[in-house]
Amino acid sequence: MPALRTVIGLLALGAASAACGADPPALRNDGPVAGWPVYGGDPGGTRYSPLTQIDRDNVAFLEPAWSYRTGDWARGRSDSPARTSFQATPVLDNGTLYFCSPLNRIFALDAETGAERWIYDAEPQLAGLWGAACRGVALWRDDRAPAAAECALRVFMGTVDARLVAVDGATGRPCGGFADNGAVDLTRGLGDVERGEYKVTSAPTVVGDVVAVGAMVGDNRRVDAPGGVVRGYDARSGVLRWAFDPVPPGTPPLEPDPQGEPRYHRGTPNAWSVFSADPERGLLFVPFGGPSPDFYGGHRRGFDHYGSSVVALDARSAEPVWHFQTVHHDLWDYDVASQPSLLDLEVRGQKIPVVVQPTKMGHVFILHRDSGEPIFPVEERPVPQTDVPGETSSPTQPFPTFPPPLHPLRATAGQAFGFTPWDRGRCRTRLEGLRNEGIFTPPSLRGSLAYPGTPGGFNWGSGAWDPERKLLVLAQSRIGQAHTLLPRSDAEAHPREQHGDFSAISPQRGTPYLYHSSVPVSPFGVPCTPPPWGTLLAVSLETGERVWEVPFGTTRDMTPLPFGLNLGLPSMGGPIVTAAGLVFIGASLDDYVRAYDVETGQELWRARLPAGGQATPMTYRLRPEGRQYVVIAAGGHGMLGTRAGDHLIAFALPEAE
C-alpha cells in the first residue's frame, strides 16, 4: 500500500511538477493585448481571448503574480448567517479590475499589481439568507458625459436582498442620479416576498443604455412564489424602461397597484443565470428556468410556455422575438443554466449567426440567432411518463442530433460503483429501489433516478469557444440524483425545507406533495453512479464529434490524504480558451486551477489554490511590454462544502530579471 500511494501521488502531481528545475523561457512581447470587459469575455459569452503570451511551451512556468483578500465571506463577517460562494469573474476597464464578493461588496483593483483602489459595500440585509453568491458586475460608459465626470463609468451589481445598484467606476460612490440614491428595489411589483426567496446572483447585462436583470427565486418553497420577470432599466436614471413577464402569449397583464406600480404574475419561470446580448441586432438572449415549484407541475396553468427555454427579446421593448424550449413541462429542475453563446458558424459553405445553448441534460442546441430555428435536426423522442396522481408529463422531449447528447442517457443498477464488492452491492440495491428508465424518468412516490441530476450536465459555468479550431469546451458533471415526492398527508414531520450533506426536503406549498432530494451514495459516501463524476470535453461544431473528453477533478481535497485519485468530480464554474490553444479552468471540487491543451485535452499545468476555485477565470494583457495575467476567485462553494476563503489570485509568467 505505501508503494501504491507513492505511485498515485506522483501521478497526481503530474504536470504540476513538469517545470521543476527548468529555466523559464524569455517573456515574449510580440503578441496582442486584450481585456475582459464583460462577464463572458464579450457580450456573446464566448469566453475566448486572443492572447498568446502564455502558450503550450511556457504555461508550466506560471506563478502567482499577486493576490487580494476581500475579507467578505461567511467566516469573515460575523453578521452573515449564510453559506457564501465566491463565484465572481472580474471585468476589466482601463487598467482596473471590478468584481463583487458573495455579500455584495464591489472591489476595484489595479489590474497589474492587485492594489486596492476602492471598495463599495451595498450592506445587504442578510437575515433569512441561506446561501450567498455574486458572480459578477457589469460596466457601462455614458457617452454623453465627459470622461472625468462623476459616474461617467458605472458599475452595476445585483444584490442578495434584491436590489440593482449603480456606483461610480472611479470612486465607488453610489450614483445619486440613478433611481433612489443609486439603487432600484427589485421587489416592486412582485407582491409578497419571503426572506431569502428572491435574490440576484448573476451579473446584470448592458445593451445600449439599458441594464437588464433577472433574479434567482427560491422556487421549491411554494406555488405562488415571486415571478421571474426580467426588467430593463435606464442606465442613467434607473427608470424602468420595460419588463418581460414570462406568461403565455395572450395572458392579460395584471392591474397596477394603488400607487400605479406595475405588478407581475407569480409562479412564473425565473432567469437567474447570465444573459447574452447582440448589440447590432438589438437582441437580448435570456436563459430561463422552470415555473415554481420545480418537481411537481399539476398546478402550472400553462406557465410552462417559457419554462426551461432560451428566449430572444427585443432589447428596446422586451417583445419576445422567438423562444426555444429545451425541456417540455420540466419536472427535473433542468433550468437553462448556461449563458447562451453567440457564434458565427460556417454550415454547408454559408456563414450563419447562431446561438449555442448547452443544458443541464448534457445537450447542446444550435439555433439560428434571428429565428430560433434549429440549424441541425432536433428530434422529439418518447420519454417515460409520470405515475403521480394529479401530474401530467410531456410525451416527448427534444434531443439534438448535432452534436448528439454528450451525457450518458442512463445509469443502470448493474453499473453501480464501489471500491469493494460490499459497497458496490449496497449501491446496486439502492439503485434497484429507484424508478429508472433513463433520462427524463419523472419524479415518483417511490423515488426516481435523475441522471444527470439537478446540477447537470452543464451548469452556469457555460461553454468556451475556440473560433480558430471550431471547438466548444465544456465542464460536465455526471452525478445521479433521487427525486421523491412525499404525500403531504404522510409527511407532516417535515414541514420546512431541510438541508444535509446529501439530501434536502422542500415544502412545495400549494401542491399535494413535499419533495425529497438525495444523492445515492455508498456507505463510504461515494456516488453510486459510475465515474467519472465530472469531465472536461471539447466538441467540434464542424463535425459534431466529441474530439476529446477527460476525467476532471481529483479526490485530493475530499479525503485527508495528500494525493488525489483522478476519478473526475462534479464541478461548478467554467472554462476559458485562448488563441494560444489553452483552456484555463478552476471549478472542480479539488483546490486547483489548471491549463489544458485545447486540441488534445492534455493537462499542461496546475496550481494549488488556498480555497475552492468554483468560479470562472478571466485573462488580460494591458500593454505590449506587459504580462498576460490569468485571474481566478478562490473562495469555495457553500453548498458543495469546498474550502471557504476570500482570495482573488492572478497568475503570470515570471518577469525578466
Q: What is the pLDDT of residue 491?
A: 62
Rounded-to-10 torsion of CA 295, 198, 260, 175: -150
CB atoms within 10 A of CB 344: 11
Query: Using CA atoms, how far apart are residues 61 and 76, in angstroms rounded to an integer?
Result: 33
Q: What is the pLDDT of residue 316?
A: 96
Q: Write out the three cell numbers for 200.
A: 440576484
Average pLDDT for 595-621? 97
What does the DSSP 8-state code read for residue 577? Answer: E
The owner of cell 464583460 is: 38
Q: What is the pLDDT of residue 23?
A: 81
Asked whether the bond before 250 is cis by omega within 30 degrees of 0, the reply is: no
Q: What backbone phi and psi angles, to 5 degrees, belong to 425?
A: -65, -40
Q: Which of 343-352, 398-407, 554-563 has the lowest mean pLDDT?
A: 554-563
Torsional class of 159: left (φ above 0), alpha (ψ -120 to 50), beta (otherwise) = beta
The secondary structure element, H or E, covering residue 239 is none
Is pLDDT at 496 greater than 60 in this prediction? no
What sign does the CA torsion over 244, 248, 249, 252 have? negative
**Whole-Å CA distances, 465 to 340, 582, 606:** 12, 11, 21
Give the strand order in the sheet containing 341-347. 341-347, 350-358, 364-368
Q: What backbone phi and psi angles, to 5 degrees, belong to 255?
A: -65, 145
Average pLDDT for 95-104? 97
Query: Using CA atoms, how far apart are residues 13 and 554, in angstroms rounded to an integer?
Result: 11
Supply the mean pLDDT for the chain: 93
**Whole-Å CA distances, 138 to 274, 347, 375, 435, 546:** 11, 33, 31, 44, 34
Is pLDDT at 355 greater than 50 in this prediction? yes
Is pLDDT at 318 greater than 60 in this prediction? yes
Give 259's pLDDT tier (boundaries 50, 70, 90): confident
What does the DSSP 8-state code read for residue 621? Answer: B
Query: Using CA atoms, how far apart are residues 645 and 485, in angstroms rounded to an integer?
Result: 36
Give 560's pLDDT tier (boundaries 50, 70, 90): low
Q: Find out whether 219 and 225 touch, Cβ atoms under 8 Å.
A: yes
Quick one: which of 72, 88, 80, 90 has its CA closest to 131? 80
Q: Which of 59-73, 252-266, 323-337 has the lowest mean pLDDT?
A: 252-266
Q: Write out the three cell numbers for 467.
A: 473560433
Q: What is the pLDDT of residue 464?
A: 98
**Whole-Å CA distances, 536 to 156, 580, 619:** 32, 18, 20
Is pLDDT at 559 greater than 80 in this prediction? no
Query: Using CA atoms, how far apart are residues 535 and 256, in angstroms rounded to an integer?
Result: 49
End-to-end distance of the chain based on CA atoms, in angstroms? 45
Q: Find out whether 199 and 161 touch, Cβ atoms under 8 Å.
A: yes
- Residue 133 CA, chain-centre distance (Å), reads 11
Q: Write out the three cell numbers for 76.
A: 469573515
**Whole-Å CA distances, 429 to 304, 374, 422, 433:** 35, 41, 11, 6
Q: What is the pLDDT of residue 427?
A: 97
Q: What is the pLDDT of residue 131?
A: 87
What are the pLDDT digits (tens) for 403-460?
999 999 999 999 999 999 999 999 999 999 999 999 999 999 999 999 999 999 999 9
What are the pLDDT digits (tens) for 360-403?
999 999 999 999 999 999 999 999 999 999 999 999 999 999 99
What does the DSSP 8-state code read for residue 651? Answer: E
Q: Write out the three cell numbers for 246.
A: 414570462
Q: Find out whether 570 and 589 touch, Cβ atoms under 8 Å.
A: yes
Average pLDDT for 485-501? 63
Question: What is the radius of gyration, based on Cα positions, of the chain?
Answer: 24
Query: For the whole model, what pTM was predicted?
Result: 0.94
Is pLDDT at 21 greater than 80 in this prediction? no
Give 315's pLDDT tier (boundaries 50, 70, 90): very high
Query: Using CA atoms, how far apart are residues 504 and 153, in angstroms rounded to an integer?
Result: 43
Quick one: which of 85, 197, 441 has its CA closest to 295? 441
Q: What is the pLDDT of residue 158?
A: 98
Give 116's pLDDT tier (boundaries 50, 70, 90): very high
**DSSP SS3 for 531:** coil
Angle at 268 between CA 128 and CA 354, to 5 degrees: 110
Query: Using CA atoms, how far apart are residues 97 and 109, in angstroms rounded to an integer?
Result: 5
Q: Which residues contact 605 (CB under 8 A, 6 or more apart)?
A: 15, 16, 18, 19, 59, 60, 62, 594, 595
Give the active site residues: 333
| Percent of the chain scoring above 90 in pLDDT | 85
Q: What is the pLDDT of residue 22?
A: 76
- Residue 536 CA, chain-centre distance (Å), reads 15
Q: What is the pLDDT of residue 563?
A: 67
Is pLDDT at 178 greater than 60 in this prediction? yes
What does the DSSP 8-state code read for residue 416? Answer: -
What are the pLDDT digits (tens) for 123-155?
999 888 888 999 999 999 999 999 999 999 999
Q: Which residues contact 89 (CB under 8 A, 6 or more apart)?
A: 36, 39, 99, 135, 136, 203, 615, 616, 617, 618, 633
